[in-house]
Chains A and B, each alone.
Chain A
Amino acid sequence: MSKYYTFKIKRYLPNEKPITRWDEFRVKLNNMERVLDGLIKIKETMDGTLTFRKSCAHGVCGSCAMKINGKNRLACQTLVKDLPEIIEIEPLPSLPVIKDLVVDMTLFFQKNDKVLPYLINEEPPPQRERIQSPEDQHKILESITCIMCGSCTTSCPVFWSDKEYLGPSALLKAYRFLFDTRDKATEQRLKAIAGQDGIWRCHSIFNCVEVCPKEIDITKHILKLKRLAIKKGFKGGQE
């Protein structure tokens, strides 16, 4: 069963005047096809200049996050049959646009780098694997599924108004290591996230949870970080 959809796409072409405009395309898609399939069809048959990122096309690489009908989602994971006939597509909000639906993710990734996003354990490792109970592993189970697509951070009103805020994605990364029993850098990492741009800026708005394509309850993780920080005696960055 196929049907026509109207794709209204916000264009940003740095070499053309005007730089921004809205273009409309009518595409016939069947009910198994996704927004990404529609975009590819447009690029292949109507306008080769339409630019967007894509790679795995099944929701594991995180390349094709964009704002579809007012909500951040992965184009490859959004079936057109679940959308109205008019599909409005914009780049992820609040990051600088490079071209059409491609945004500059540098700032987003920089946030991530600030939370020491790697396992730190200076004790000499044992001969075999470090022992970790399944219960302990389950504590980080949800947080390790993050694909860093950027949907969450760019849906956060706090991030919209304050680019210094670490944002949900980076905080989730911090959680992933803080709650990994093998990691030993609790204090260092807490210092990185308990400052004025960290966890206390989260106002439990839940926009990040609404958009996460991996259905991670990010706010839950940030709330746990807040409790951990209080427990360890960190308040707003001062010890």
Chain B
Amino acid sequence: MRYRWNVGSLAWITHRITGIILTFYLIAHIFVLSHLKDPTAYNKIMAIMKNPLLKVGELILFAIILKHVFAGLRITLLELGISTKYQKTMAYIGAIAVALLWIIGAFYFLREVI
């Protein structure tokens, strides 16, 4: 049987996974930016970015960033001395904050697109 997950280990593993994804994203991002040498290239890439699939991708990316930020905040707060009694509460609050901010963000994001 697989070792049972709990709040702490889930928070840790999602923090790690989102971190890895963000690293790869940043490399891709810098790679793309480095190719924006002239207006034509810029327009070409902007056109590609209009692809609805990539829009969905950006929404997912937004969620990942939020998740990573709040997981990082939780750990930092714990290390600064916030009682470990609240580690679960903080993970829950973080999850709620991620969800709320994502919905608000997605709302503005979609409004712009549509």
Contacts and interface: CB of A to CB of B under 8 A. Distances in A.
B54 interface: no
Contact of B3 (A70, A206, A209): A70
Interface residues of B, number: 17
Nearest to B3: A70
Interface residues of A, number: 22
Contact of A206 (B1, B2, B6, B79): B6
Nearest to A205: B12
A103 interface: no
B8 A204 contact: yes
Contacts of A155: 3
Nearest to B82: A223
Given A207-B9, A223-B79, A69 B1 contact: yes
Interface in A160-186: none
Nearest to B91: A206
A23 B102 CA distance: 48
A236 interface: no
What is the predominant secondary structure among interface residues of chain A facing chain B? mixed
B4 A69 contact: yes
B4 A204 contact: no
Nearest to A210: B6
A21 interface: no
B9 A204 contact: no
A90 B1 CA distance: 8
A114 interface: no
Nearest to A218: B84
A223 B3 contact: no
Among A88, A209, A223, A226: residue with most chain B CB under 10 A: A223
Interface of B: 1-4, 6-9, 12, 75, 78-79, 81, 83-85, 87
Interface of A: 67, 69-71, 88, 90, 93, 155, 157, 203-207, 209-210, 217, 219-220, 223, 226-227
9 contacts: A70-B1, A70-B4, A157-B9, A203-B12, A204-B12, A204-B84, A205-B8, A209-B84, A227-B81
